[in-house]
Amino acid sequence: MEKKEIHFVLVHGACHGAWCWYKVASLLKEAGYKVTALDMAGSGVHPKQLDEIHTISDYVEPLMEFMASILPEEKVVLVGHSMGGICISAAIEKFPHKISVAVFVTAIMPSFDLGLTATLEECFRRVEDHMDSQYMFDDGNNKPPTSVQFGPNFLSSKLYQLSPPEDLLLATMLMRPAHLFLDPSLTGSVVVTKERFGSVQKVYIICKKDRVLKEDFQRWMIEKNQTDEVMLIFGSDHMVMFSKPIELCSCLKHISDKYS
């Protein structure tokens, strides 16, 4: 397949937006690929507000609408970062025939045997210090938090510790609060099956210096899934698109050449 026919669809993580892909999208476009970076509902410049998003289905609606618009003969390389892994998992399950390969970049990856809620709870449990991040408890203080806004100290020491300072500053200006979806009733629409989710080729990219989704948690998710390949990016924090954009692009090009 010619490079110009390969279409990367990039999905951001919690509190971020399509803006976080600006380096990677530019590099991929310069290399001749087609690139679409999407804002999930209530993220980036998407018009919905946090209180208008009640379930995972509401949050991933922009991705689902985009996937539905793709022509039947077209396939995309679907890339999800961090919580974006939940979004692309929902899209894989619904549109497996439209995806040539799915790429989980230090991302949440549910499995057939372990539900999304259990995976999210395990992720939340492993974050050792939430620092100055602000949590909302709309369902009551005795219930799991409903949304989060990352604090500047949490960003600088946990997410962006190896990224350029100008990208950290950009994040503090553009981030929006994000739903956590820890209540099982909010995640019921994301159920992955062997017949659909399992039929799509998947690659997981481990970021070795990630302090949020640490390597042991990334490997814990990989052990519960059958991925076609695991790749490593050394010296990368959680925000690999900022700390190691060239290396991430190299991985994505390899994946597209091998699996598309």
Catalytic residue among 147, 210, 237, 243: 210
SS3 category, 46: coil
- Are the C-beta atoms of residues 17 and 174 closer than 8 Å to each other? yes
141 DSSP 8-state letter: T
pLDDT at 114 > cutoff 80: no
- Are the C-beta atoms of residues 96 and 67 closer than 8 Å to each other? no
pLDDT at 247 > cutoff 90: yes
Q: Where are the beta strands (DSSP E) in the chain?
A: 7-11, 34-38, 76-81, 99-105, 134-136, 147-149, 178-179, 202-207, 229-233
pLDDT at 147 > cutoff 70: yes
Please say if 238 is a catalytic residue: yes
pLDDT at 1 > cutoff 50: no
pTM of the entire structure?
Answer: 0.94
- pLDDT the model gives residue 204: 98
Name the band, by pLDDT with cuts 50, 70 and 90, for residue 2.
very low
- Are the C-beta atoms of residues 24 and 253 closer than 8 Å to each other? no
Mean pLDDT of 163-185: 90
Please say if 147 is a catalytic residue: no
Catalytic residue among 16, 43, 46, 82: 82
Q: What is the mean pLDDT of the chain?
A: 91
Please say if 183 is a catalytic residue: no
How many angstroms separate the CA atoms of 173 and 157, rounded?
A: 17
Q: What percent of the chain has pLDDT over 90?
A: 73
pLDDT at 128 > cutoff 80: no
pLDDT digits (tens, 9 = 90+) for 35-65: 999 999 999 999 999 989 988 899 999 999 9
Catalytic residue among 7, 16, 46, 238: 238
Mean pLDDT of 136-152: 86
pLDDT at 216 > cutoff 90: yes
Contacts of 185 (CB under 8 A, 6+ apart): none
How many angstroms separate the CA atoms of 233 and 110, rounded?
A: 22
How many angstroms separate the CA atoms of 221 and 238, rounded?
A: 16
pLDDT digits (tens, 9 = 90+) for 3-47: 448 999 999 999 999 999 999 999 999 999 999 999 999 999 999
Mean pLDDT of 151-158: 95
